[in-house]
Amino acid sequence: MRMSSREKEKKVLKRSHRRAIPPQKASTSSLMKEEYESESGEEQSLTYLLPDDALIHVLRSLPTRELLCSAAFVCKRWHRLCRQHMNEAQLFQLAVSHSSSLERLSLVGLKRLTGSDVISLLPKLPKLEDLSIESCTNFGSDDLEAVCSQLPSHLLSLDLHNFDSVATRYHNCSIPRKHIDDNVVGAIHQRCPKLQKLNLDYCGNLSMKAVGLLLQGCQFLTSLDLHSYKLGWPEVAEIFRLCQSLRHFSLVSIRLDLLENPGKELSDFLLPGPVPVPCVLPRQLTSLRLYRSPNRAISMESGPMRIVLEEFGTQLLHLHAQTVYNTTWEVIRRFCPNLKLLDLSHCKVELCLATKIEETMLCGMFPTLKDLEYLALPYATDAILLKIGWNCPKLRELRFQGFGIVDKPTVFKEVTDAGVVGLVEGCPDLRVLSLAGCRNITALSTRRLNVLILNRCTGINDNAVAVMMPRLCSSLVYLDLIGCKLTRLSWQSILKHAKDTTLRVLALNGRICPPGFEKTLGPRVRVIEGCSSGLRWLGYYHELKMY
């Protein structure tokens, strides 16, 4: 029987592509062979005939934006090459090659990057508007000052947060501290007069003199993040006076906590008679974060912060208030009715006491906060979830640390399916839900969630996964099942429905993953193995800076 010309062409293409596979790949397990054979979608293109090395050489000629945002989504093979064959050096070389078109440059976690590399690159970036340098372990303080002295004058956003102390955030003491001093700030204000967003969190060593010069030189700032033990309430008042265009302000300083650390400059607040307002918030300021340490807010139930909330609480839309003081919740309920983002989580640094008083106070907040869209709580119960479902129909994201980590879990009834159902039905726009540590959750049925975290939910078993996956498959992007009581049967249920979902990240216990599981789901799904959650949660402030 003679083959048609079309069948002969397909046969030649298959034979050519089989030769394009590297020898070490072709001689490995059958799972690797299946991966290459499943990379369909390129058969009708001439690039199908090219080996991987040749195609990588072609892809390098593309602009960086097109390579990472478009080329990686052409087909499975291109996605694999863009993801696996671009190491740190190659990515930086791409930035150098296409520097004329770069508008945003994020240098995060690059271990080999040095100051001289960045200094040589900056003059070649005529369109750069957003620069971020974070967790580059080979990047010293002197290098940072030299880099800031070469910043382009048209820069709009500069993010150096966490540069001072990666150890503070990730609890890794092996990484040395690097200080951002007044010289660095002086270089920034001289080079970047159009700057709109500046993040110097974890700097810890700035003086008010340097901050004042910065605000005088950068008069268009709308977002400012600082961390310095030298700044207190008088300095905050001066910052607000000098920069009336601020919309977001964050400061971490132990001097802000009047109750625990009163200073001489705060003695006016201790005198009898009317208490003066410590500072006047700019009219456009809608986001506020005043902390005494990176994961703990200052006292809000009394002192200067209470006075500020009484006077200006109605204009706030975002409030970060991670604290162990439950009386803070009542102050927020009374003076901040228009909040859209509220963070009350404790980040597992200090556990809140689970008593009936806390439950009653949390339940009393939500009838007032009807516009909430993002909410983080220290813990929850069925009563709290039902209150949220009844009163917060606009809620898009809910997180809490989970009842399993509270010291005395017998005081409350734990979160059950009834509370979760009431929450989901009352919040139709809910997209992110964290139920970490809720041991009595047995199932979840909703088709709207994008992120679902069931870390340490021991009530979730193989039957629950088999029921949930068909219902969640239409929208789910991230699923965390680490710590659940699952077996290999759950892997089969996930594999059956994962190909029909938008799933991108799956966190599981390693013992239920079969050999070669990375290749089974394909390159578009990232599988995280471990005993803790794949997503590190340190509060909304850090999440917004990370993603």
- 447 pLDDT above the threshold of 90: no
Q: Residue 292: helix, strand or coil by DSSP?
A: strand
Tell me the pLDDT tens digit for each residue of 242-268: 999 999 999 999 888 754 444 444 444
Provide the strand spans (E) within 332-477: 341-343, 374-377, 397-400, 432-434, 451-453
Residues 535, 540, 544, 547: what is their CA dihedral angle, to the nearest 10 degrees? 10
What confidence score (pLDDT) does residue 246 get?
Answer: 95
Over range 366-379, report the average pLDDT.
91
Domain boundaries, the chain: 5-84, 442-547
What residues have CB less than 8 Å from 153, skipping those under 6 apart?
Answer: 191, 192, 193, 194
What pLDDT is recorded for position 90?
65
Whether the full predicted model's pTM is greater than 0.85, yes or no, is: no
Contact criterion met (CB below 8 Å) for 124 and 96: yes
Report residue 89's pLDDT band, with 50, 70 and 90 as the boundaries: low
Burial class (CB in 10 A: 0-12, 13-18, 19+), 230: middle
- Mean of the per-residue pLDDT values for the chain? 75
Alpha helices in 347-397 (DSSP H): 356-365, 382-391
Please tell me the distance from the alpha carbon of residue 87 to that of residue 344, in angstroms, as a whole number: 39
- Return the minimum-mean-pLDDT range out of 104-113, 176-185, 377-386, 484-493: 176-185
**What is the average per-residue pLDDT within 305-311?**
90
Candidate ranges 137-146, 216-225, 354-363, 396-405; pick with highest mean pLDDT: 216-225
Q: Which of 139, 90, 146 lies closest to 113, judged by CA?
A: 139
The answer for residues whose C-beta is within 8 angstroms of residue 28's C-beta and 6 or more apart is: none
Read off the pLDDT of each residue in 70-74 and give the average, rounded to a whole number: 64
Beta strand pairing call for 478-480 and 374-377: unpaired
Tell me, rounded to whole angstroms, the distance of Cα 486 from its chain centroid.
28
Which pairing describes strands 287-293 and 296-297: parallel, antiparallel, or unpaired?
antiparallel
Could you give the CA distance from residue 173 to residue 448 in angstroms, rounded to a whole number? 40
Q: What per-residue confidence (pLDDT) applies to 71?
A: 62
Dist CA 39 CA 212 (whole Å):
57
Q: What is the pLDDT of residue 375?
A: 94
Q: Is the pLDDT of residue 65 over 50?
A: yes
Q: Do you know the residue count of the chain?
A: 547
Please name the amino acid found at residue 119. Answer: I
Percent of residues, the chain, with pLDDT higher than 70: 68
Contacts with 86 (C-beta within 8 Å, 6 or more apart), sequence order = 94
Greater confidence (165 vs 88) lies with: 88
pLDDT tens digit string along 107-136? 777 777 777 888 888 888 888 899 988 777
Structural contact between residues 489 and 513, judged by C-beta atoms closer than 8 angstroms:
no
Q: 369, 311, 322, 319: which is closest to 346 by C-alpha?
A: 322
Q: What is the average pLDDT across 89-95?
A: 69
In this structure, of 388-392, 406-410, 483-487, the range with the lowest mean pLDDT score is 406-410
CB 224 within 8 A of CB 238: no
138: pLDDT strictly greater than 80: no
CATH superfamily, domain at 442-547: Ribonuclease Inhibitor (3.80.10.10)
Q: What's the distance, Cα to Cα, between the start and end of the chain in Å?
A: 59
378 closest CA partner among 347, 404, 407, 408: 347
Distance between CA atoms of residues 459 and 486, nearest Å: 10
Distance CA 316, CA 338 (A): 7
347 contacts 169 by C-beta, under 8 angstroms:
no
